[in-house]
Amino acid sequence: MNNIGMVFLVGAGPGDPGLLTVKAAELIKKCDVLVYDRLVGPQIIAGAAQDSERLFVGKESSNHSLPQEEINQLIVDRARQGKMVVRLKGGDPFVFGRGGEEAEFLKLNGIPFEIVPGVTSAVAAPAYAGIPVTHRDFTSTLTIITGHERPEKKESSVPWEQIAAGKGTLVFLMGVENLGTIVSRLIAFGRSPDTPIALVRWGTLPYQEVLTGVLHNIADEVKARGFLPPAVIVVGEVVKLREDLQWFDNRPLSGRTIVVTRARSQASHMVAELERLGAQVIEFPTIRIKPIAAPGLQECLVKISEYSWLTFTSVNGVKEFINQLNELGFDIRDLKGPRICAIGPATAAEAESRGLRVSIIPPEYRAEAAADILLSEMEAGEQMLLPRARGAREILPVMLRERGIIVDELEIYEAALEASVSPHALGLLKDADIDLITFTSSSTVNNFVALIGAEGLSGLQKEVKVACIGPITANTAVEAGFTVDIIPQEYTVDKLVQAIVEFMGQNA
């Protein structure tokens, strides 16, 4: 008995990773085994530890990867191996998630368990469609009903007479395939044929779709539109409020699909901002940041007081410099002497977050501007330390050396080609209706071209808009055959996102 593990029946929420509870995220990160369903998104699954066992047991209509009985036995078997098991379900495990059945089976087999509720799509999907499920001017009751009941059942477990006769909001889960039956029974048992109804497909996700109508015509609308599951069905007068309260669809990038090519370790802020503004983001990392041990770093640190300036050209340069400094047994207190120049506010913020004080940020975030401002501060014979990426542009050290400045360059990292691209990302890039590709460095352009290949590239170059963080990146993109549509006036990620919003607004 001492070797028995623990099972957590966890709700993953309705789809938007931001609606995952804090407790759920912590458990996913710590678990040994993650057993998950079809409606749990890849961003949530990616939160599990790299060495965790991930088991997909999803169900679709008429297509179950594992029968429920085998799922029950699977989680029991893993727990008996002493594992911490997270059984992850879309929405809430106790709202038509069969969590009660799994809990009973765990109890029967002597396996300890906990329940972690999730945000149910029955409430979240209507909310993201601008439909409050209760409103004191319309109704104070809410009924959540399975829409998955088979029409041919001799006796329905749904009390149609009671739910049809009232005026409260009805929410049906998993009911699109049975919509005709649902509608006909509601009307037959007393609901007005003119009762408003909404279907919310992929609720809370960037590609959410909403279809509204009334009971007597909604089945025809669904057929005409080709509206497919999964969707939440909302019936009641509250549906009328969508016209005034819809917000998710009105965000500036709603309906847009944008590709982000930054390294996975750097992309989170940009992805979050684009998604917050409504875009569907395809993460297609083309580079990975690979540290390079700089053999001359220790010697440079020993004589650090001889340098007038320490210049950082990127956030990665700051991170890798400080990491290697610490590995050599130094810390920031040893950086006495040189003043610090940081190219760009993000680089400066990273340096200051590490305890460094930045003296200068060039007005333009590129090497030429940095050279101009450093030359105004330095005289011939002074020394500068320049930790940066392998293969970086030579313009900065060349301009300084031409004026007699001694520049010690340290290659401390490189933007290496991403070794593997997931088939999922490649599939999205091939099949999605892409509006925009973003490039944040020349490396992302060159590596994107290398990963996609000539055949895949030709279609994208003809049809898809391109946004580049600055003119150097844009020049590389043009040389690769792209037409660049967006370059922000300030070369930062936040300004790039702002420029994308402005461009999309003008080209709606």
- The residues that are catalytic are 37, 59, 174
Nearest to 89 by CA among 128, 56, 122: 56
Q: How far apart are CA 15 and CA 206, in angstroms?
A: 10
Q: How far apart are CA 340 and CA 350, in angstroms?
A: 12
The CA–CA distances, whole Å, from 145 to 14, 160, 174, 364 equal 16, 10, 9, 59
What single DSSP character describes residue 486?
B
Beta strands in 104-256 (DSSP E): 113-116, 142-146, 169-173, 196-201, 209-214, 231-235
Calculate the CA 187 to chain-centre distance.
Answer: 42
Please state whether beta strands 169-173 and 231-235 pair in parallel, antiparallel, or not at all (unpaired): antiparallel
Residue 78 sits at the vertex; the CA angle it makes with 18 and 39, to the nearest 5 degrees, is 30
Q: How far apart are CA 82 and CA 103, in angstroms?
A: 18
Residue 419 sits at the vertex; the CA angle it makes with 415 and 425, to the nearest 5 degrees, is 105
Nearest to 74 by CA among 35, 116, 114: 35
The CA–CA distances, whole Å, from 3 to 6, 51, 52, 284 equal 10, 20, 18, 42
Please state whether beta strands 406-417 and 209-214 pair in parallel, antiparallel, or not at all (unpaired): unpaired
